[in-house]
Amino acid sequence: MNREKLQACHLERLAVIYPRQSTLKQLHDHKESTARQYALQERAREFGWAENKIIVVEDDMGQSGASSDWRPGFRRIAEDAAHGRVGAIFALEVSRLARSSADWHKLLELCALADVAIIDEQAVYNPCDYNDRLLLGLKGTMSEAELYWMRLRLEGGRLSKARRGELSFCSPAGYDWDSASLRFRFTADDAIRKAIMLVFERFRVEGSAYGVARYFGRMKMMLPSRDISTREITWISVRQGSVLRILRNPIYAGAYVFGKKEERMGLVDGKLRRRKIKKLPQEEWKCVIHDRHPAYITWDEYMANQKKIYENRAHHFYGEQRGAAREGRALLQGIILCGKCGRRMQVRYQGKSHRIQYYCMANKFSAGSLCSDVAGDAIDRAVEEKFLAAVIPAQIELAFAVTQETESQLEDIERQWQLKKERLTYEANLAARRYKATDPDNRVVARTLEREWEEKLQELEQAEREHQTVRKKERLVLTECDRDKILAAAKNLRSVWRGKTTTYAERKNLIRALIRDISLTPVDVPRRMTQIKIWWQTGAVTELMVERKSKFTAQATSESAVKIIENLYSTKDDAYIADKLNKKCIARKNDKPWDSQAVRVVRYTHGFNHLRTGRRRAKHQRSDGLYSKHGVAARLGVSPGVVNAWAISGILPTAEGGGTTKARWFKLDEQIISLLEKEKLKRLR
């Protein structure tokens, strides 16, 4: 037993017994090993240690020996040894103390300096002796290697079973593991299956996980989720993260996938931590078996969904990431490319009227200025017209498709509500049977079961009220009149496009379905224009030029609207003109419908005033060379309102007239014309 290696100085200090099991399961199952480790106390007594000098450090029971970071007991022993309070350390074998060479050799160094003996079941070792220290070092190295070999064998067995598709793990909501066939199968609960299918159907429509979550919230529907710890299904409120977990899970595409993540030891704040999970890219997944079990979607649709999710992450320096369609007015958000540098342009809204502006920040940090910026209202209108013109030929087919899709979606929602009420009815009946089966004299149990029964009945009643509320609000049942309205609306796509119920996000998704990207290139010669290139999903390219307006004129009334008002104002009233503009679907500022007041403002701005009987508008130029307000406006290509502003501010001198009763007349010479041209350019910047 090598008693001669123990001296009086060892017996005067503490004898530390260090029992350890790597996991709580081992602590529960391997009771004989645990008993052998605690029996080392008797071995210490045999060597001569007094009872009060023997202590047991059992802080690390159920902890792995791979590192000392999560083992406070091991760190305490090392500290006591360094301070000379420990005479010997007892362990069943070296692997109980450490399975890390770094921790083991550090402990050996401390024991050698403090003259601390290490004792196991077979022998006594003195780290001060080089031969003993060499032997202990070899044992520590073998202990660490043994841990690696055990892990290698276990991981190899798991991977081999996974490559056959037979390794079971926690199945996602919508699936159950079939132990007989060693495959996933659809869950028997119809409500769970329908809810999962509805997630994929709504993602096809909404185009984003947030849109799906918002839809579920509006319909007051829940989503099934499997608790990893209990393996039970619970119904939770829908969040964007829960939708993304379903969309990103390849199991729903019928593929058996294993090894999507890799667990490693990692440093956090300079300390070694137990787990650092790294998600592997798809090409590095360890095992993928296609068509292994029934699928909710095809693999091609799964890959398309992953691409869509990736593109929804807006990153303007990477051309493939467009960002999800949002609720802002800018219809081309996310699909605009800068014609100068090729990067994606961002959008912002300026002023109280929220003017749209597309801008590129490629030179913002290097040159201190924007690469390019363009007023967006005119761009949106031009692309919108091209899009609607491309869609019109397929309106008849679209009408029937819209009707069928609407009916299908409403049937799915109604079915989900019916399944939810069936589940709550079953739970209420089950609670009732439990209450009726209990002994009525056992009031403690009876009161609890009665309360559970009442809670289930209240949940059922609440679900019924919510169902009726949603039915009234969302019109979950289509009547013949509703079908006729949908068909009529689908045949008149422009009215649907301008309708109040069509959101900006829905319009953007429709545009993205046909248009892949749009590039904007500013052109200054011979006029300030913007070159627009539309890349359609089919590969075709359409080019057009749009006048590049300044921020002051970006939301000015379109020329087509001004032309119609000019042709009709002398014979028709403002209400008739507004109705005419709305029927032609000519856009107004902020996409609002035309009304009498809006037409009146445009008339006054452009000088289209209704003349009283017997009065005529003054000529543009008199025989003496003086110009009227409208004459100056026609000569310089501006509106009469701008001429009034110049006259009031003193930029344009009044030669004759003025005030409230007499018309103004102006004299134009080369100097004044040059000055007014400069003022005109200032307004265009």
* Burial (CB count <10 Å: 0-12, 13-18, 19+), residue 465: exposed
Band of pLDDT at residue 356, cut at 50, 70 and 90: confident
Q: What is the pLDDT of residues 77-90, one digit of tens each?
A: 888 888 888 889 89
pLDDT computed for residue 265 by the predictor = 64
Res 289 pLDDT > 50: yes
Res 228 pLDDT > 70: yes
- 3-class DSSP assignment, residue 110: helix
Res 396 pLDDT > 50: no
Band of pLDDT at residue 245, cut at 50, 70 and 90: very high
Q: What is the pLDDT of residues 568-617, one digit of tens each?
A: 887 888 888 888 887 776 767 666 778 888 888 888 777 777 654 444 56
In whole angstroms, give the CA distance from residue 301 to residue 451.
Answer: 47
CATH number listed for the domain at residues 627-684 = 1.10.1660.10
Res 239 pLDDT > 80: yes
Q: What is the pLDDT of residues 608-650, one digit of tens each?
A: 776 544 445 667 788 888 888 888 888 888 888 888 888 888 8
Q: What is the pLDDT of residues 519-549, one digit of tens each?
A: 888 887 777 888 899 988 888 888 888 887 6
Quote helix, strand, coil % in the chain, to nearest 5. Answer: 50, 15, 35
Phi, psi of 216 (to 5 degrees): -60, -40
Stretch 120-129: mean pLDDT? 85
Band of pLDDT at residue 483, cut at 50, 70 and 90: low
pLDDT computed for residue 255 by the predictor = 92
Higher pLDDT among residues 503 and 292, named by residue: 292
Q: Where in the sequence of the chain do the CATH 3.40.50.1390 domains occur? A: 3-160
Strands 14-17 and 86-90: parallel
Cα dist from 339 to 175, 314, 385, 521, 531, whole Å: 49, 19, 21, 4, 9
Band of pLDDT at residue 320, cut at 50, 70 and 90: low
Superfamily classification of domain 3-160:
Resolvase, N-terminal catalytic domain (3.40.50.1390)
Band of pLDDT at residue 556, cut at 50, 70 and 90: low
Best mean pLDDT range from 247-251, 408-412, 572-576:
247-251
Band of pLDDT at residue 275, cut at 50, 70 and 90: low
In whole angstroms, give the CA distance from residue 110 to residue 79.
Answer: 9
Stretch 374-385: mean pLDDT? 85
Percentage of the chain exceeding pLDDT 70: 84
Stretch 661-671: mean pLDDT? 82
The answer to which of 97-101, 361-365, 679-683 has the lowest mean pLDDT is 361-365
Query: In sequence order, what E strands does 281-405 have?
Result: 287-289, 336-338, 346-350, 355-360, 372-375
363, 370 contact by CB (below 8 A): yes
Strands 515-523 and 336-338: parallel
pLDDT computed for residue 175 by the predictor = 92
84, 45 contact by CB (below 8 A): no
Res 449 pLDDT > 80: no
pLDDT computed for residue 612 by the predictor = 47
Res 485 pLDDT > 60: no
Stretch 509-520: mean pLDDT? 85
Q: Prior bond to 526 cis, omega within 30?
A: yes
Q: Where in the sequence of the chain do the CATH 1.10.1660.10 domains occur? A: 627-684
In whole angstroms, give the CA distance from residue 491 to residue 387.
Answer: 16
Res 272 pLDDT > 80: no
Band of pLDDT at residue 310, cut at 50, 70 and 90: confident
Q: What's 591's DSSP letter?
A: G
Best mean pLDDT range from 25-34, 192-201, 494-503:
192-201
- Residue 265, both tokens: 């030891």
Res 442 pLDDT > 80: no
Res 682 pLDDT > 50: yes
Band of pLDDT at residue 256, cut at 50, 70 and 90: very high
373, 338 contact by CB (below 8 A): no
pLDDT computed for residue 314 by the predictor = 67
645, 655 contact by CB (below 8 A): no
The answer to which of 101-105, 445-449, 509-513 has the lowest mean pLDDT is 445-449
Band of pLDDT at residue 250, cut at 50, 70 and 90: very high
In whole angstroms, give the CA distance from residue 449 to residue 446.
Answer: 5
Res 659 pLDDT > 70: no
267, 268, 269, 272 alpha-carbon torsion, rounded to 10°: -50
pLDDT computed for residue 299 by the predictor = 93
Res 392 pLDDT > 50: yes
Stretch 162-185: mean pLDDT? 88
Res 67 pLDDT > 60: yes
53, 13 contact by CB (below 8 A): yes
Res 189 pLDDT > 70: yes
The answer to which of 219-228, 260-269, 352-361 has the lowest mean pLDDT is 260-269
Exactly one of 22, 67, 242, 519 is catalytic; which is it? 22
Percentage of the chain exceeding pLDDT 90: 6
DSSP per-residue codes, 126-149: -TTSHHHHHHHHHHHHHHHHHHHH
pLDDT computed for residue 302 by the predictor = 93
The answer to which of 102-111, 114-123, 238-247, 461-470 has the lowest mean pLDDT is 461-470
Q: What mean pLDDT is reported for the chain?
A: 80
Q: What is the 3-state secondary structure (H, E, C) of 552-564?
A: CCCCCCCHHHHHH
pLDDT computed for residue 587 by the predictor = 67
pLDDT computed for residue 473 by the predictor = 59
Q: At residue 61, what is the residue type? A: M
Band of pLDDT at residue 484, cut at 50, 70 and 90: low
* Burial (CB count <10 Å: 0-12, 13-18, 19+), residue 670: exposed
Res 251 pLDDT > 90: yes
* Long-range interactions of 266-271: CB distance < 8 A, separation 24+: 271/69
pLDDT computed for residue 400 by the predictor = 47
Angle between helices 640-649 and 629-636 (to 10 degrees): 110
Active-site residue 550, yes or no?
Answer: no
